[in-house]
């Protein structure tokens, strides 16, 4: 196990993670980004053109945007490893993270930017035919369904974006939605409804996904949510786009979560219920869920972590100063040697000891952290 204790480890390499890394790197905190083994770059790696990230009037391809974010953070010293954290020990002054490679990393602060995962329908057929006709990523898998009829399940922005994208390949796109109107933004909904390749199935719920044993999915069973009638719709593929769930199960309840499983932070900051642990992006936010909002909270998390480290450093210095003062006064009092002075000395030493025994604070004071953080603060305020 590496003995190195980092100032900041950022878990997640989506817009929140890379923005946190950029800010932490520019603050001289040498952040390590543990960016994910298979999902590095986050949700935007699965999309095409991003039209609403400021600074790109022509739009930018999602994976290109993530590459640029990574390059910008790395330019200032952020380090990235392509691993998943499989075990988090977030309590105490030094946080310990174990990855799928069985490596162990330690840090004084951790920024959780874990994003969210695709919500599943929870059907047996969905699990059986996952990656064999059932997909959660239109941009990754759409190409495989050229000239076939396919189904998209959902009615929000993701479903509509996916369905529109899939019209490039499919001969027909069946959009299956449980309600009688789309939840997607009006501009997207209008585009979808005007597309001649799209057929809407309103008030319809997927109750089964069918296929051949050992083969691929070839049909969905739909139930009318109003009449309860069921019928089978033959399709070559099924794209499930019914939303996301925060990736917080892995935290094992160490930080406070809300009723929907999102990390609770002390708004407007990013501090979680555990000191030194901050959270940013879609793992916190189930309202806005945008690249730019995730990036915004990533910046806040890095600044919060920096501030926390400075405070810890100041505490450690104060504790050492107090200890030294106590020592000096003890030396003086020993020379004088009166019983009354001896009592005072004991009291002062006791106080100093209490301060010094704040967990690991002396360790923090012994590192170059305070110099780094102070320099970082100065740098930031000068800009």
Residues with catalytic roles: 137, 140-141
Instruction: Answer positive or negative: Cα dihedral of 162, 163, 167, 170.
Output: positive
Cα separation values, 22 from 8, 39, 64, Å: 12, 20, 17
Under rule CB under 6 A, residue 291 binds ligand FAD: yes
Residue 87 CB, shortest distance to ligand FAD, in Å, is: 9
The residue within the footprint of ligand FAD, chosen from 24, 114, 150, 240 (CB under 6 A), is 114
Under rule CB under 6 A, residue 289 binds ligand FAD: yes
The residue within the footprint of ligand FAD, chosen from 5, 22, 24, 44 (CB under 6 A), is 44
**What burial letters (b/e) apply to 130-151, b meaning 16+ CB within 10 Å?**
beebbbbbbbebbeebeeebbb
Under rule CB under 6 A, residue 255 binds ligand FAD: no
Q: Give the interface size with ligand FAD as a residue count (CB under 6 A).
A: 38
Under rule CB under 6 A, residue 271 binds ligand FAD: no
Pick the closer one to ligand FAD by CB: 101 or 180.
101
Under rule CB under 6 A, residue 294 binds ligand FAD: yes
Under rule CB under 6 A, residue 290 binds ligand FAD: yes
Number of Cβ atoms within 10 Å of the Cβ of 96: 18
Pick the closer one to ligand FAD by CB: 184 or 323.
184
Residue 341 CB, shortest distance to ligand FAD, in Å, is: 57
Under rule CB under 6 A, residue 158 binds ligand FAD: yes
Residue 34 CB, shortest distance to ligand FAD, in Å, is: 5
Nearest to 28 by CA among 371, 299, 382, 277: 371
Contact present, 203 and 226 (Cβ < 8 Å): yes
3-state secondary structure 88-154: EECCCCCEEEEECCCCEEEEEEEEECCCEEECCCCCHHHHHCECCCEECCHHHHHHHHCCCEEEEEC
Stretch that binds ligand FAD, among 107-115, 208-216, 261-269, 332-340 (CB under 6 A): 107-115
d(CA 350, CA 329) in angstroms, rounded, equals 13
Pick the closer one to ligand FAD by CB: 17 or 365.
17
Pick the closer one to ligand FAD by CB: 36 or 365.
36
Residue 222 CB, shortest distance to ligand FAD, in Å, is: 24
Q: Which of residues 10-39 bind ligand FAD (CB under 6 A)?
A: 11-17, 34-36, 39
Contact present, 108 and 275 (Cβ < 8 Å): no
Under rule CB under 6 A, residue 330 binds ligand FAD: no
Nearest to 302 by CA among 382, 361, 383, 380: 380
Pick left, alpha or beta for residue 86 (phi over 0 → left; psi -120 to 50 → alpha; otherwise beta). Answer: alpha
DSSP structure class, residue 263? B
Residue 231 CB, shortest distance to ligand FAD, in Å, is: 29
Question: For binding to ligand FAD (CB under 6 A), which residues are involved?
Answer: 11-17, 34-36, 39-44, 46-47, 50, 52, 84-85, 113-116, 158, 161, 247, 250, 281-283, 289-292, 294
């Amino acid at each position: 196990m590496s003995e190195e204790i980092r100032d900041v480890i950022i878990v997640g390499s989506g817009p929140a993670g890379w923005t946190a890394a950029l800010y932490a790197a520019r603050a001289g905190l040498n952040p390590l980004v543990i960016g994910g083994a298979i999902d590095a770059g986050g949700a935007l790696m699965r999309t095409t053109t991003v039209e609403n990230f400021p600074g790109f009037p022509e739009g930018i391809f999602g994976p290109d945007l993530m590459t640029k974010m990574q390059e910008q953070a790395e330019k200032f010293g952020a380090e990235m490893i392509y691993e998943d954290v499989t075990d988090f020990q977030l309590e105490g002054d030094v946080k310990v993270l174990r990855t799928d490679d069985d490596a162990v990393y330690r840090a004084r602060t951790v920024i959780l930017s874990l994003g969210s995962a695709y919500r599943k329908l929870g059907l047996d057929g969905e699990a059986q035919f996952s990656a064999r006709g059932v997909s959660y990523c239109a941009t990754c898998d759409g190409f495989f369904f050229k000239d076939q009829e396919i189904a998209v399940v959902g009615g929000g922005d993701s479903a509509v974006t996916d369905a529109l994208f899939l019209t490039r390949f499919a001969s027909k796109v069946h959009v299956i939605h449980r309600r009688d109107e789309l939840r997607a933004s009006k501009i997207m909904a209008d585009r979808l409804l005007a597309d001649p390749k799209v057929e809407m199935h309103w008030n319809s719920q997927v109750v089964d996904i069918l296929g051949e044993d050992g083969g691929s999915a070839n049909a969905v069973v739909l139930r009318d949510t109003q009449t309860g009638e069921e019928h089978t719709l033959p399709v070559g593929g099924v794209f499930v786009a019914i939303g996301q769930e925060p990736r917080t199960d892995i935290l094992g309840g160490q930080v406070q979560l809300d009723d929907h499983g999102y990390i609770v932070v002390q708004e407007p900051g990013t501090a979680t219920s555990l000191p030194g642990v901050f959270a940013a992006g879609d793992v916190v936010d189930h309202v806005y869920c945008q690249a730019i909002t995730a990036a915004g909270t990533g910046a806040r998390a890095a600044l919060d972590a920096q501030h926390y480290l400075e405070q810890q450093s100041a505490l450690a210095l104060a504790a050492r100063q107090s200890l030294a003062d106590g020592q000096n006064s003890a030396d003086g009092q020993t020379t004088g040697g009166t019983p009354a002075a001896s009592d005072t000395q004991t009291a002062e030493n006791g106080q100093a000891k209490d301060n010094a025994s704040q967990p690991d604070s002396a360790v923090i004071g012994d590192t170059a952290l305070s110099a780094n953080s102070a320099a970082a603060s100065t740098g930031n305020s000068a800009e």
